[in-house]
């Protein structure tokens, strides 16, 4: 199992939230999962074996937060986050929408993005981070040894080329293991 994180929080109750739970719990060693949303989090929490909570409770207790919403106004409350938080923001991908409030952005030491070009056209959260003078780094640079300081945010708007690269790696691993079934 991967890195121990203690409590993971998920903001949102749609398809993105469900699948980020599946992926994250596959590579993180999570003791507890908390879920909050405007609606739908009670049934999703039951389905995933998680605990439905109010937002303030989630932000105070979570070590890692996944924000997967279509909100146009910030939903992540930085004043409540732990000192060494990590937030992965996968929703709110238009220039006039945000998931992260100003407190979250101001408290962030390293603001990671999937693609500087993409977020500069698709993310109100990135726009606000640059307005506030927060250090921004592409995830590729971080993987090459770029210095990451916590607390951190990872803002992604989804890059098709990165998705295809990940799919290729999974396909190659499945071939190596003899897993799966070839379809005609």
HEC per residue, 5-20 = EEEEEEECCCHHHHHH
Q: Which structural domains are found in the chain, ordered by start?
A: 3-159 (3.40.50.720)
Residues 6+ apart with CB under 8 A from 6: 30, 31, 32, 63
Q: How confident is the model at residue 14, as a pLDDT?
A: 94
Q: How confident is the model at residue 133, as a pLDDT?
A: 95
183 is written with which tokens? 């379809």
Residues 6+ apart with CB under 8 A from 71: 91, 92, 97, 98, 99
Burial letters 139-175, b for 16+ CB under 10 A, else e: beebeeeeeeeebbbbbbbebeeeeeeeeeeeeeeee
- Per-10-residue mean pLDDT of the chain, 184 residues long, equals 88 94 92 95 95 97 96 96 96 92 98 94 95 94 91 89 77 87 80
Read off the pTM.
0.87
- CA dist., res. 165 & res. 145, Å (int): 20
Q: How confident is the model at residue 9, as a pLDDT?
A: 98
């Amino acid at each position: 199992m991967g890195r121990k994180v203690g409590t993971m929080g998920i903001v949102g109750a749609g398809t993105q939230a469900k699948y980020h739970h599946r992926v994250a719990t596959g590579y993180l060693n999570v003791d507890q999962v908390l879920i909050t949303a405007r609606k739908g989090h009670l049934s999703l929490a039951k389905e995933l074996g998680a605990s439905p909570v109010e937002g303030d409770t989630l932000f105070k207790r979570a070590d890692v937060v996944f924000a997967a919403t279509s909100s146009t106004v910030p939903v992540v409350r930085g004043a409540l986050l732990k000192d060494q938080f990590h937030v992965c923001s996968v929703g709110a991908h238009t220039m006039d929408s945000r998931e992260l409030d100003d407190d979250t952005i101001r408290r962030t030491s390293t603001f990671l993005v999937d693609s500087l070009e993409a977020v500069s056209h698709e993310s109100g959260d990135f726009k606000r981070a640059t307005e506030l003078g927060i250090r921004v780094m592409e995830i590729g640079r971080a993987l090459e040894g770029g210095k990451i300081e916590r607390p951190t945010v990872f803002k992604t708007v989804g890059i098709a080329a990165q998705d295809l690269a990940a799919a290729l790696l999974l396909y190659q691993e499945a071939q190596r293991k003899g897993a799966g079934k070839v379809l005609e």
